[in-house]
Amino acid sequence: MADQPKDRVVVITGASAGIGAALAEIVARRGDIPVLAARNRAALDEVAARCQGRADVRVADVTRRDDVEAVVTATLQARGRIDVWVNNAGRGITRLVSQLTDQDFDDMMTVNVKSVLYGMQAVLPHFRDRRRGQIINVSSMLGRLPFVPFRSIYSAAKHAVNALTANLRLELADEFPDIVVSAVHPGIVATAFGSNALHGGPDSRHLPGAQSAEEVATVIADMMNSRQADVYTRPEARHSVAAYFAADDMAAVERQSMLRVRR
């Protein structure tokens, strides 16, 4: 990708580990400037040390609107602009719909949806002023195919992220065609996501078919050049989604999926 733009300022939330950390390293290697946002300063510093001296660190709790707005302000003061904003922070859950509490619901929507909304709303005035920019929201295959019952409200939260992404894209399309609003849909990723889920859960690093964080992060980094609106980290996933929503009996597709998981 020798012709890709250089020195883009790329804000990455949830950058202290997993996909976010891997993305930061790739962004730095490609000649861009990653801005790392998360709560854990020590972990962020470790990621920054692997970014060839190009990274900025911003300690922030992205479930707090003021913290997210502070990341925008500090980045503009330090770098003068933001080119890409990646809403990557999130957390899973291990609880069936019938077991969900009010606190479960509120926690999942705050971490996985409100943080995305805050990021989009915080960076949008700057993008409007420049009349360009890209927002990439890290969704999930569970935001398309809700086939894992114990992820329940996490899956619902990612469906909400997809809706917000599409609606902002439509809102901006006529007046700001160069502001790109994108979503990316990973499947299982070999990170601590599963073991860090609310109420615990299976370790994603040991599940069959898991993609590496680096593979997923590479897909996200490539989106900064292609500026595609909607991307799956596995090419075959798009066909699975299309088949599900085109099915005469969606319940039958769901049952078949559960049978495959149990084998």
Q: How far apart are CA 168 and CA 182, in angstroms?
A: 10
* Helix or strand holding residue 137 (H, E): strand 133-138
Strand partners, 37: 13, 58
CA-closest candidate to residue 218, choices 16, 25, 52: 25
Asked whether 189 and 14 are in contact (CB, 8 A), the reply is no
Phi, psi angle pair for 138, to nearest 5°: -85, 105
- For the record, the structure tokens of 150 come out as 């114990």
Q: How far apart are CA 50 and CA 59, in angstroms?
A: 17
Helix, strand, or coil here: 36? strand
Residues with active-site annotation: 154
Within 8 A by CB and 6+ apart from 5, the residues are 32, 83, 225
Asked whether 78 and 71 are in contact (CB, 8 A), the reply is no
- For the record, the structure tokens of 251 come out as 């319940």
Q: How far apart are CA 148 and CA 94, in angstroms?
A: 10
The 8-class DSSP code of residue 179 comes to E
